[in-house]
Amino acid sequence: MSLREIQYREIIERALLEDFSRGGDLTTESLIPENARGTTVLRARENGVIAGLEASLYAFKVLDKSVEFIFNKKDGDEVFPGDIIVKISGNVRAMLSAERTCLNLLGRLCGIATLTNKLVKAVDGTKAKIADTRKTTPGLRALEKYAVKTGGGINHRFGLDDAVMIKDNHIAFSNSLTEAVEKVRNFVGHTVKIEVEVDSLVQLEELLKCPVDIVLLDNMSPEILKKAVEMVNGKMITEASGNISLETIKEVALTGVDIISSGALTHSIKNFDIGLDRE
**Length of the chain, in residues:** 279
CA distance 275 to 81: 11
Amino acid in position 29: E
Q: Which of 75, 99, 197, 258 is catalytic?
A: 197
Using CB atoms within 10 Å of the CB of residue 273, give its burial: 0 to 12 exposed, 13 to 18 middle, 19+ buried. middle
CA distance 216 to 231: 14
The answer to whether residue 129 is catalytic is no
Residue 41 phi, psi (nearest 5) = -135, 145
Q: Which of 218, 226, 250, 273 is catalytic?
A: 218
Helix (H, G, I), strand (E, B) or coil at 275: strand
The answer to whether residue 135 is catalytic is yes
The answer to whether residue 213 is catalytic is no
75 Rama class: left (phi>0) / alpha (psi -120 to 50) / beta: beta
Helix (H, G, I), strand (E, B) or coil at 261: strand
The answer to whether residue 197 is catalytic is yes
DSSP bridge pairs for 162: none
Q: Which of 9, 45, 73, 100 is catalytic?
A: 100
Q: Do 91 and 70 form a contact (C-beta atoms < 8 A)?
A: no
Q: Which of 9, 45, 157, 167 is catalytic?
A: 167
The answer to whether residue 100 is catalytic is yes
Helix (H, G, I), strand (E, B) or coil at 108: helix
Q: Which of 73, 118, 134, 135 is catalytic?
A: 135
Q: Do 199 and 219 form a contact (C-beta atoms < 8 A)?
A: yes
Q: Which residues are catalytic?
A: 100, 135, 167, 197, 218
